[in-house]
Structure 1
Amino acid sequence: MMSMVFTPFYLPIVGLLSLFFLSYLSLMPLGYKLQVLTLVYFFTILLPTVLIHLYRKYNGWNLIELGHKERRMVPYVISILCYFFCVYIMDMLHIPHFMGTIVSAALAIQIVCALVNVWWKISTHTSAIGGVAGALFVFGELFAFNPIWWLCLVFILAGMLGTSRMILRQHSLAQVVAGFLVGLVCSVLGLLYL
């Protein structure tokens, strides 16, 4: 259940929601925030989920079969292209750069995970929640709020998510921990330097 609720695609939406509720961006008009969230939802959750589902059905695989290392490259390419188009469209629409940076950081996480997957199966689920932890840390520094309680919640969820991935026999402990660290590092570096 944890794996289905906390899919790797939720990272940009969680990041934007954090910005919209935990920073001065809460003062922005609701309509504008909904437009940005809708655009990001379409390109980072809905479109990749539908395309990957169609790819899986076309090949006659169930979710477990799609999880084999050699079958994960096409879903990675699909999600990377969707995230790239989201960043591109956000730039074309002149959406503030720091909002697009959240999607860019998630794109960087996807790219690093895809590259690692060539040699070793890494957990994209825990890389996404690691990205949320990194984003909270950066937002805490940039917007001068104390994210400690939010980080505690994220670490508890990360532990539950990593445990569920191991119980489902989709990943080892090393793959879960490596995924979290990749997400954390890419998120912090991406949000600070992209």
Structure 2
Amino acid sequence: MNNNQSAISDSNSGQLTFNPVLRGISHVLSVLFHPLFIPLYGTWLIIYTHSFSFAGFYGKKLFAVYASVFANMILLTGVTVLLLKQLKFIQSIRMHTQKDRIIPYIATMTFYFWAFLVFRHQTTIPLVLTAFVLGSFLAVVIAFISNLALKISMHALGMGGLLGLMFCIFSDPYYNITLLLLIIILLCGIVGTSRLILGEHTLREVYLGFMFGILAQLIAFWVIV
């Protein structure tokens, strides 16, 4: 096989190795759709699709919603992971091993549950956003428990959460989000494929990530909405 092909077979390992361009694109996609950023994407999707519910949110009030999600679910989690790496509690911020994921999972569960409590006690926050935050917390809980047996894809878990969110919104005939749902499904496939191209996960770990992410949102919406 020549070097222009997108993938070649490694005769020693029996695995496929992909050319640098394809791997580079996969790295970019993995950064853009890193699980750390999923809560912010989900919040935007909710506000975009539920503009009527957020009619009173504009200016500083809308900024406060985004700021709360960013601070409690992204900033605190990201800083914690960086500190854990600096203090050598984990080997890499990419958390390749199940052992590396234990403390970050616990920290993330704490921050996500706190974010849920914050939104839960603010009666002006639409329930759909509170449910999404609860679903994000449940997804991390499921990932933490499953981490005892296998290393599921956190990227797939996050994208599965977005897809689960879209399923819940789509179930309401008031919202016509067919195109948006199809886009999220396409993105799930692209992100999942990128993780396989990079060799970060097996197909099973990616599928389980999607399944757990979707399931967590379905449970949360059943409980809250």
After the TM superposition, which residues 129-168 of structure 1 pair with which residues of structure 2 at under 5 Å, given as runs? 129-142=159-172, 144-168=174-198
| Alpha-carbon distance in 2 for matches of 1:38, 1:44 | 10
Cα deviation, residue 179, structure 1? 0.4
Q: How far apart, CA to CA, are the structure 2 residues paired with 1:143 and 1:26?
A: 19
Q: Percent identity?
A: 22
Whether 2:44 is the aligned partner of 1:17: answer yes
Work out which of the two has the higher radius of gyration on C-alpha atoms and give 1 or 2: 2
Given the superposition, is the C-alpha separation of residues 86 and 95 from structure 1 closer, same or farther in structure 2, using an over 3 Å criterion? farther
Structure 1 match to 2:211: 181
Shift of 1:8: 1.3
Q: Does 1:78 find its partner at 2:107?
A: yes
**Residue pair 2:85, 2:92 contacting (<8 A) in 1 also:** yes
In the other structure, the counterpart of 1:46 is 75
Measured at CA, do residues 142 and 33 of structure 1 come closer, stay the same or move farther in structure 2, by a change above 3 Å? farther
CA distances 1:93-146 after superposition (whole Å, capped 9, x unpaired): 445361222111100001001101111111111111111111112112236222
AA paired with 1:87?
A: F
Name the TM-score, length of structure 1 as normaliser. Answer: 0.91
Aligned mates of 1:160, 1:17 — CA distance in 2: 20
Aligned to 1:55: 84
Alignment partner of 1:67 is 2:125: no
Tell me the equivalent position of 1:32: 61
SS in 2 for 1:25: coil
Q: Residues of 2 paired with 1:93 and 1:26: CA distance?
A: 14
Runs (4 or more) in structure 1 with deviation over 4 Å come to none
Match of 2:145 among 91, 106, 115: 115
Rounded Cα–Cα distance in structure 2 between residues aligned with 1:86 and 1:193 = 17
Mean Cα deviation higher: 137-146 or 78-87: 137-146
Spell out, residue by residue over 1:59-102, the C-alpha distance to the aligned partner (whole angstroms, 9 max, x if none). Answer: 173345x2211211111111111101111222344453612221
Note the aligned Cα RMSD (angstroms). Answer: 1.8
**Amino acid aligned to 1:102:** F
Higher share of residues assigned helix: 1
Give the residue type in structure 2 aligned to 1:10: F
Structure 1 Cα separation of the partners of residues 38 and 173 of structure 2: 19
Instruction: Report how many aligned residue pairs link the two structures.
Output: 193
Corresponding residue of 2:16: none
Q: Identify the structure with bigger relative contact order (alpha carbons < 8 Å, sequence gap 6+).
A: 1
**Secondary structure class of the residue paired with 1:88:** helix
The gaps in structure 2 that reach 5 residues or longer are 1-27
For 1:69 and 1:52, locate their aligned partners in 2 and report how far apart those are by CA, in whole Å. Answer: 14
Q: 1:143 to 1:38 in 2, by over 3 A?
A: farther
TM-score normalized with structure 2 length: 0.79
Render the CA deviation track for 1:12-33: whole Å, top value 9, x for unaligned: 3223222211121241231322
Structure 1 unaligned regions, length at least 5:
none
